[in-house]
Amino acid sequence: MKGFSYVSTQLKKSLSEALTIFYPLGGRRGDYFSIDCNDEGAIYMEASVNMSMEEFLNPPQLEFLNQLLPCEPNKCHPYQEVLPQLLVQVNLFQCGGIAIGLCNLHTLLDAYSCSLFLKTWFAICKGSKEEISWPDFFSTSYFFPPRNTLGVRAGMLNINKDSNVEAKCTTRRFLFDSKIINELKAMSTSDDTKPTRYQIVSSFICKHMIVACLNESCDKTRPVVALHVVDMRKRMGEPFSKGSIGNLLWPALVLLEDVDKNTDVRDLVRVLEKELGKLTKELFLKVQNDPDFLWSDECAQLMLEGIAMQNTITFVFTSWANMGFNKVDFGYGKPLWLAQRGGTKETIPNTVVLMETKEGIDAWVTMEEKHITILENDMSFLQIALLNPSVSINNIINKIEEM
């Protein structure tokens, strides 16, 4: 294996080159909506991990995951705080393995945009510039120019706006094996319903999260909403290029009524499939072409305007699957494991990130401590979801020896 100093030099040098291509990332955020492209650069740091990867991954020590990151993830910051767009931490394990931790603001990059940046950075690092994913910063702002949302009807864009945004939360990882997912999918498939793996897994998790949250609640009449973050690129196709950069996201809001431990997950799958089916290319063309759409009854209905002010319980789901994170390679092979975040901290509760793995789908679930404790002791949940299983390290050892 080449020395770590060589690897570090290559990573830093290629990061600088990648930032000249993704130039806004070298600037600073001055508010929620603008970036000062002042070329101050990204934050880069290195750390030594006082254990081997084998120790760290058997099973993954989630309480230490955030120490591999350059800052505390998923934090809310004051409106006008000046912040870097990108922070990187390169971690060297005792065995010689390397973990790269990355945090970025959502001002410009959604998950898809972040994957394009990583592909470009790593392509430069390993000397494969033909693999660079050239960014397109202009098509998104052209088709969806900035609009003044002042005066939008009360409640339309304000689900749960009066609740405390952050709470003391813990993140847990659950693995859904591909065989189990396929069995659940077969059970939910019919002539009228052909759900995706995402719809199956997110509906199953959502049911059990709702049961966990309502277990101690005296007011079980509070409206429950599942918010699914939808990538508009996949729904629209053209006019967007493969390199379209920006937050091309739309919230799919699903009202879930009378959910309890006896609810059939297939019913939740059907509701989700129906609501996601409303998010068509035609709808997004209306958003693009009609400056009054955000004020329309149609948009109000999609945003559940009628219940937005009723002290809702909101669950947020997003997927990082099929975005290429598991294929990025800075010259030493594809990632052997992908992680999201861990630990106990003040952050936004009731969020789920789904990530593809060789075994199936990892679900990174963040809830308040009292609720996550109920979930991880729910035997009907654990019959399907494996709580933080060990990561196979044979490939890791072989790869390190080859270096």
Tell whether 182 and 326 lie within a shared domain.
yes
Tell whether 356 is covered by a domain. yes
Tell whether 152 is covered by a domain. no
Tell whether 135 and 203 lie within a shared domain.
no
Tell whether 138 and 175 lie within a shared domain.
no
pLDDT at 400: 47
Tell whether 85 and 55 lie within a shared domain.
yes
Q: What is the pLDDT of residues 148-166, one digit of tens each?
A: 766 666 555 554 444 457 8
Distance CA 137, CA 224 (A): 37
pLDDT at 291: 82
Residue 266 has pLDDT above 90, yes or no: yes
Tell whether 206 and 118 lie within a shared domain.
no
Q: Which of 145, 178, 205 is the last residue of a domain?
A: 145
Q: 324 lies in which domain range?
A: 167-395
Q: What is the pLDDT of residues 5-60, one digit of tens each?
A: 889 999 999 999 999 999 999 999 877 778 899 999 999 999 999 999 999 999 99
pLDDT at 69: 95
Tell whether 381 is covered by a domain. yes
pLDDT at 296: 86
Tell whether 362 and 272 lie within a shared domain.
yes
pLDDT class for 217, splitting at 50, 70, 90? low
Q: Which of 112, 145, 178 is the last residue of a domain?
A: 145
Average pLDDT, the chain: 88
Tell whether 151 is covered by a domain. no
Tell whether 128 and 254 lie within a shared domain.
no
pLDDT class for 219, splitting at 50, 70, 90? low
CATH number for the domain spanning 75: value is 3.30.559.10
Tell whether 112 and 172 lie within a shared domain.
no
Tell whether 234 and 126 lie within a shared domain.
no
Tell whether 159 is covered by a domain. no
Q: Are 199 and 269 in contact (CB under 8 A)?
A: yes
Closest CA to 40 of 51, 25, 52: 25
Decide which of 197 and 399 is more confident.
197
Tell whether 352 is covered by a domain. yes
Give the Cβ contact number of residue 49 at 10 Å.
19
pLDDT at 149: 64
Tell whether 156 is covered by a domain. no
pTM for the complete prediction? Answer: 0.91
Tell whether 277 is covered by a domain. yes
Q: Which of 145, 178, 209 is the last residue of a domain?
A: 145
Distance CA 205, CA 385 (A): 9
**How many structural domains does the chain have?**
2
Question: Is the N-terminal amide bond of 195 cis, ω within 30° of 0?
Answer: no
Tell whether 130 and 241 lie within a shared domain.
no
Tell whether 291 and 225 lie within a shared domain.
yes
Tell whether 43 and 118 lie within a shared domain.
yes
Give the Cβ contact number of residue 369 at 10 Å.
12
